[in-house]
Structure 1
Amino acid sequence: MEIDCGHDYCSVPEPAALDSSLCENEELTREIEDLRKQLEQAKVNSRFGLQRFAGSDEDIRFYTRFATYKHMMAFWEQIEPSTHRMIRVTSSNVTRETGLYVKIRALPAIDEFFLFMMHLALGLKQKDLAHRFHVHQTTVSHIITTWANFLYFLLGSVQIWLPKERVRAYLPEEFENFRDTQVILDCTELRCQTPSSLLLQSEVFSSYKSHCTFKALIGLAPHGAVTFVSGLYAGSISDRELFKQSGIIDVLTPDMAIMVDKGFLIDNLVPCKIHRPAFVTKGTEMSAGEVRHTQSVARLRVHVERLIRRVKEHKLFDAVIPLSISGSINQLFAVSCLLINYQNGPHVKAWAQ
């Protein structure tokens, strides 16, 4: 049998051929890596989640009301360890293998939080959010309720009422003539759907807003921190009665002072001093001192109105609140108020330290 010696197995390619082959391989490797990066970016862009907007503080502000992505992630780092103990409102599925009930998370935890913040910040409907995040509308409802309850208890466990020594340590110069001020208080109202029951209508109807509303009392420390948030009450309640039922009287002491609007007729309810614009009865005029006092209090009280405006930048409260979410509106409102301490800088730029 003849052996074919037509191929020289001992021969080696020329160096130039090896260099050319290596260059081609390197180019292909780079091309594959570029394509992989493009694919990953395409996946991020196609998925409506936080990572898609991480590079734009403007988008983060629009979708969440957090000032920047850095602000939001700083807040997330504080709450993330507790998310593992979250009690979830969700459907339970039975696995075929074990027969055990397991809770399935449709989105990563941080995207659930992002979805919840979009609901607060933009007031987006559940169906809209379901389309954006490619999940079922029922899942969106569960996520919103879960996070409302979770943040309500988590942020509510933080002691926001400050000792008077700390309030005075951070007192802005504008309060030099009101150094004993512990908190600036005001009421705010949220419009709600009119109940079909005439009895309920009479309870939630606000003569001030000429609409059915929920009403709450909010307190602001002189340096701008939210230090008190009451529950929501029926809109027919008076400022005095809301103040009485809110629980704030229990934390006031004789060496403090509160700053309120002239509608708060609470002199016999509190143990402390009250800074309030002067009253003018029919046929009388204010003295020069009363005018100056009223102007000074009005200039300082405007800060609590700015706070309320920030709370209502959460567009969920722009529209009429449907009675279908009345079971969780108290949590949603409280969370929106408490988030103000984390989302923004000071109310007055000069107070930044």
Structure 2
Amino acid sequence: MVHTCVVAGCRNRRTPGTTLSFYRFPRDSERKQRWIAAVNREGWVPNDGSRLCSTHFISEMKEPGALEILDKQEARVEAANALLFLQGQGRSAADDPRQEERPGEREREDLVEDSASSSLSTDEDDDDKEPLNNCKRGKFAQASDVPVNFDDTLKALKKENQFLKESVEKMSLSENSLRNDAEKVKFYTGLPNYFVLETVMWLLAPHMDGMKNVKLSKFQQLLLTLMRLRLDLRNQDLAYRFGAKVGTVTRTVHRMVNIMSSTLVPTAVFWPSRAELRKNLPASLRASHPDCAVIIDCFTVPFEEEQPQGGLSGPHGVGSSCNTLKYLIGVAPQGVVTFVSRGVMGNVSDKSLAEGCGFLCKLLPGDVVLATRNLDIGESVAARGALFKIAGACQEEGCGRSEGSPPPDTASETTSVQRHVERVISMVKRRYAMLTGPVESPFTSASERTSTLSTFDKIVQVACALNNLCISAAPLE
């Protein structure tokens, strides 16, 4: 608080750094009147804020001994206030800055100025000294009676610090936060548990050594990419979550998709041998289709209507007005994906898609290709020595084309196979929301000059590979 000397003509003010002292008017009425007379202001009456500066007192008041006593008393008051605050008695004052300042300031002024008045007076020196000493003894004794236990305070702070660390760890996306939380792993990655995630990391880590100038760890790069596929989060969102730039997120996703496409897909999406297929053939197909090699169907994914120049070029069929990508997927009777084609424009025929994606090369003479509807590929399959059948429908000899609707005794078989394929396709899309579309333009162009696959084609294949690593939830019983 800033005080101004009340003596007429004096402009001294109490400001930080000043060497002047400012004194409150005495409580004793007789001495107070002498001070008022010395101020020499006609009709003036002091109030609680009235002060006199030290320049208007006799030289004895400025002796080093008196000032030294005042300094010591001020230091003691400050030390006592600090101890009281540490003991928690200053919390109520801390809530209101004004309340914290005024009581401390008032107490300090009372103690210092009363001490100054008692030290500088002559007639009533003994009367003022005793109350001051009693006041000091009471306040300091109260502060010293309650010792500060710094060991307990330190233990409490350490415990609080550990709790905060654990809370932050649970909210973070780190290896430790996912290690013992299968639900969290499943939510962010689509994989069933941390062991599968760790296995994927082990397979990909050797191929990630060449990725330079990336501030994210290998685990963070994999987790970021899986979250992009699983939750279809935008790059800006992932940049906020991982504390990286949007450009870093974009490059990381493309690089990781390429690595997983070349490393993980060949490992998890493959055409099983005929012996393996027959060994694991479900009982529901053993009697009706013992040579079933694959169950096929097509699915589509919408993409952004405005295509960039050069997007979906060549085999993808630029110039079409259709705004969907079409994929041929092959599912083993056991419920795992064994084949997935590249994407073509949605108006491309099934026959052109099957003949151009390499599916027919997988077939062996005598294999049975099962479908739930006519995909118009019977002749192409027959040319490979295999047989195309629509589950439950009558087959015309040699042509592989269905005639009429399925008879009543095979209707249940058709329904079972159809649901089986639909469950696998919907499972992949549910597990990785990015496959539901719409596909963003940067993902529809070829990822490499030497490849006919777009980045999104690789994403579809990677999603199928990751789905195969999970326990099949769509077995054909």
For Structure 1 versus Structure 2, the TM-score category normalised by the shorter chain is 0.7 to 0.9
In 1, are the aligned partners of 2:281 and 2:334 still within 8 Å (CA)? yes
Supply the distance in 2 between the matched residues of 1:25 and 1:197 (Cα, whole angstroms).
Answer: 67
1:240 aligns with 2:354: no
Q: Partner of 1:170 in structure 2?
A: 280
The residue number in structure 2 matching 1:312 is: 429
What's the C-alpha RMSD, in Å, of the aligned pairs? 3.1
- Of structures 1 and 2, the one scoring higher in RCO (CA 8 A, sep 6+) is 1
In structure 2, what is the equivalent of residue 64 of structure 1? 189
1:319 to partner: Cα distance: 3.4
Q: Are 2:259 and 1:137 equivalent residues in the alignment?
A: no
Q: After the TM superposition, which residues 166-315 of structure 1 pair with which residues of structure 2 at under 5 Å, given as runs?
A: 166-176=276-286, 177-195=288-306, 203-206=319-322, 212-270=323-381, 271-277=385-391, 278=393, 290-313=407-430, 314-315=432-433
Name whichever of 321-330 and 185-194 sits farther off: 321-330
1:43-122 pair list within 5 angstroms: 43-45=168-170, 47-67=172-192, 69-70=193-194, 73-86=195-208, 103-122=212-231
Residue 168 of structure 1, CA deviation: 0.9
Larger radius of gyration: 2
Mapped contact 1:276–1:294 kept (Cα < 8 A)? no
Contact 1:258–1:274, Cα closer than 8 Å, also in 2? yes
Report how far residue 56 of structure 1 moved: 3.3
Query: Which whole-Å CA distance do the structure 2 matches of 1:197 and 1:140 have between them?
Result: 21
The DSSP-based 3-state class of the residue aligned with 1:312 is helix
Change in 2 beyond 3 A, CA 1:80/1:299: same
Q: What is the aligned-residue identity percentage?
A: 23
Q: How far 1:194 sits from its partner (Å)?
A: 1.3
Quick check: 1:66–1:344 contact (8 Å CA) kept in 2? no
Are 1:191 and 1:214, in contact at CA under 8 Å, matched by a contact in 2?
yes
TM-score with structure 2 length normalisation?
A: 0.57
Alpha carbons of structure 1 residues 326 and 307: separation in structure 2 relative to 1, 3 Å:
same
Q: Which amino acid aligns with 1:335?
A: V
Q: In the TM superposition, what is the alpha-carbon distance from 1:144 to its structure 2 partner?
A: 0.6
What is the alpha-carbon distance in structure 1 between the residues aligned to residue 327 and residue 189 of structure 2? 23
Match of 2:270 among 151, 155, 160: 160
Q: List gaps (5 residues or longer) in structure 1.
A: 1-23, 90-102, 207-211
Q: Which amino acid aligns with 1:319?
A: G
**How big is the shift at 1:44?**
1.9
For 1:31-56, what per-residue CA distance to the aligned partner results, in whole angstroms no more than 9, with x for missing partners? 67645643542442453335334443
Extract unaligned runs of 5+ from structure 2. 1-148, 396-402, 446-454
Post-superposition offset of 1:346 = 3.5
Tell whether the 8 Å contact from 2:350 to 2:377 is kept in structure 1 after alignment.
no
User: How much has 1:88 moved relative to structure 2?
Assistant: 5.7
Counterparts in 2 of 1:80 and 1:25: CA distance versus 1, 3 Å: farther
Go from structure 1 to structure 2 and tell me whether the alpha carbon gap of 1:48 and 1:215 turns closer, same or farther (over 3 Å shift). Answer: same
Distance 1:117 1:59, change over 3 A: same
Find the residue that maps to 1:153 and give its secondary structure: helix
Question: In 2, distance between residues paired with 1:189 and 1:294?
Answer: 26
Residue among 442, 448, 452 paired with 1:324: 442
**Aligned partner of residue 300 in structure 2, secondary structure:** strand
Offset at residue 235 of structure 1 (A): 1.6
What amino acid is the match of 2:443? I
In structure 2, distance between residues paired with 1:63 and 1:79: 15
Local SS of the residue matching 1:106: coil
Q: CA deviation at 1:202?
A: 7.1
- Give the Cα separation in 2 of the matches to 1:318 and 1:262: 22
Seen in structure 2, the aligned counterparts of structure 1 residues 286 and 45 have a Cα distance that, compared at 3 Å, is: closer
Separation (CA, whole Å) in 1 of partners of 2:289 and 2:365: 15
SS of residue in 2 equivalent to 1:269: helix
User: 1:135/1:153 Cα in 2 relative to 1: closer, same or farther (>3 Å)?
Assistant: same
What is the distance in 1 between the residues matched to 2:210 and 2:308? 33
Q: Deviations over 1:58-104 (max 9, x none)?
A: 3322222122x24xx33432542542332766xxxxxxxxxxxxx23
